Amino acid sequence: MKVRRVPVIAAIAIVLVAAASGAAAPQTTLEFWTISLQPFFTDYVNGLVAGYQRANPGVQIKWVDVQFQAVEQKLLAAVAGGVPPDVVNLNVEFMTRIAERGALADMDALVPAADRTSYFEGLWSSGRYRGRTYGIPWYIAPPVLIYNGELFKKAGLNVLVPPATEDAMIEAAKRVKDRTHVYGFMPPLDGTRLMYLFLENGLPVLSENGRLAVFNSPAHVARLQTYVDLLRKDYFPDDTLRRGFTGAVERYSAGQLGMLVVGPQFLLRIKESNPEVYAKTFVAPYPMGKGRVIHAPLMTLAMPKASRHQQEAAKFALYVTNDENQLAFSKLTVIFPSTKKAAADPYFRQTGAGPEWQARTIAVGELKYGRDLTVVVPNQGELFKIFREAVESAFFGKMSAKEALDWAVREWNARL
């Protein structure tokens, strides 16, 4: 009997050990939010998730895609409710506002120095607020100028000599409107985008120590007055301030706008929405201001401080933004990686059919000028609202350009 019991007892022991080990296997679930990547990039993100889960069998990734207009409020609600995502895609403006509330984890503490050096220094520092970094750089889309060659020809403009500066673009826009009766452009003036034009012209928004607003100098006033005069003479539509970039893309896609400053990736949307306009589209470098710098919007990955898995979340974010995965993402759409090695890949110098290939080559050449110029200030929402009100007051005749900027500077300095 004893001889028979030994293998039976041993077998039972093996089963118990196996069951115990299975029950004790660690299982971490990370919630990962992206912004408007479905449906075009569903397969790519699913592939990212599957690859990470294979390499990290104790981790499950729950992917949630959120529309751009909803992500900030949804994140704030999730943080307040104690159910935040572990990794969330934010642009620099959203990231700054959430960081100001003390709700984001410090990436300088979570990410080893050796890993930080793989990113362009200027892009890593773009996620900085009050001396600490709150977003790992993900992808960037330096803007280019796209223009309707047919409208240029009707206006008597040389399609092979596009405007190279902001002032030259203004003159070209006036000529398109005068000769074709179609608006030449919708300048980036909605929201706080006039700040970018100031900075691109070498005109600071804040003092060097960041404690004073300084955007009411004669040069600032003159730059605003230029666009006020253009609106009054009907050189761009009055819905520019209300509809902004969305309205500009719609007009261009409909063949009702001569020029559009846009990230190269939007060429694919124009190709889909109106192939006829896409076929008439030429691409040129961004018409730079006097400051020789280009505002290039950056997407980051941030970690809410309330996440219970910060170390694992940081590891996953580094995986999403590593050289290999960023390069693979860039090959699916017209964007650029934030890591030096991926950006140096020969892929970005290849030629192909369609203006998006030319845009890719142009944007590579612009990277040395690109920075995310989002102004980082405390009470950002309140200060930006004041700035918007001032700009709109100047455009709609409630104040002069000088009065509007003087008022906004006083209000800012009372709060900084």
- Amino acid at the residue 384: F
How far, in Å, CA of 32 to CA of 55, rounded?
17
pLDDT at residue number 25 = 52
pLDDT, position 26:
58
Tell me: pLDDT of 7 over 80.
no
3-state class of 260 per DSSP? strand
Q: Is the pLDDT of residue 85 over 70?
A: yes
pLDDT of residue 4: 46
Residue 354 backbone zone (phi > 0: left; psi -120 to 50: alpha; other: beta): left
Mean pLDDT of 222-248: 94
Q: Tell me what percent of the residues of the chain surpass a pLDDT of 70.
A: 94
- Residue 5: what pLDDT? 43
Give dist(CA 176, CA 344) in Å, integer: 38
Find, among 226, 304, 221, 299, the residue nearest to 37 by Cα: 299
3 or 374: which leads in pLDDT: 374
> Is 23 a residue whose pLDDT tops 70?
no
C-beta separation of 246 from 327 below 8 A: no
Range with lowest mean pLDDT among 39-53, 259-273, 389-403: 259-273
The residue ranges of DSSP E strands in 241-297, in sequence order, are 259-262, 281-285, 294-295
Distance of CA 387 to the CA centre of its chain: 21
DSSP annotation of 368: G
Average pLDDT over residues 75-87: 96
d(CA 99, CA 407): 28
- Beta strands 28-35 and 87-91 are parallel
- The owner of tokens 């990736």 is 265
Reported as a pLDDT band with limits 50, 70 and 90, residue 106 is very high
Domains defined along the chain, listed by start: 23-141+296-361 (3.40.190.10), 144-295+373-415 (3.40.190.10)
Beta bridge partners of 147: 259, 282
Residue 65 gets the label, from left (phi > 0), alpha (psi -120 to 50) or beta, of beta
What distance lies between CA 128 and its chain's CA centroid? 15
| pLDDT for position 377 | 85
State the pTM of this model: 0.76
Residue 334 pLDDT grade (very low, low, confident, very high; cuts 50, 70, 90): confident
Dist. CA 91–CA 127, nearest whole Å:
9
Read off the pLDDT of each residue in 368-384 and give the average, rounded to a whole number. Answer: 86
> What is the predicted pLDDT for the residue at 210?
84
pLDDT tier for residue 360 given thresholds of 50, 70 and 90: confident
Q: What is the mean pLDDT of residues 268-277?
A: 91
SS3 content of the chain, % helix, strand, coil (to 5): 50, 15, 35
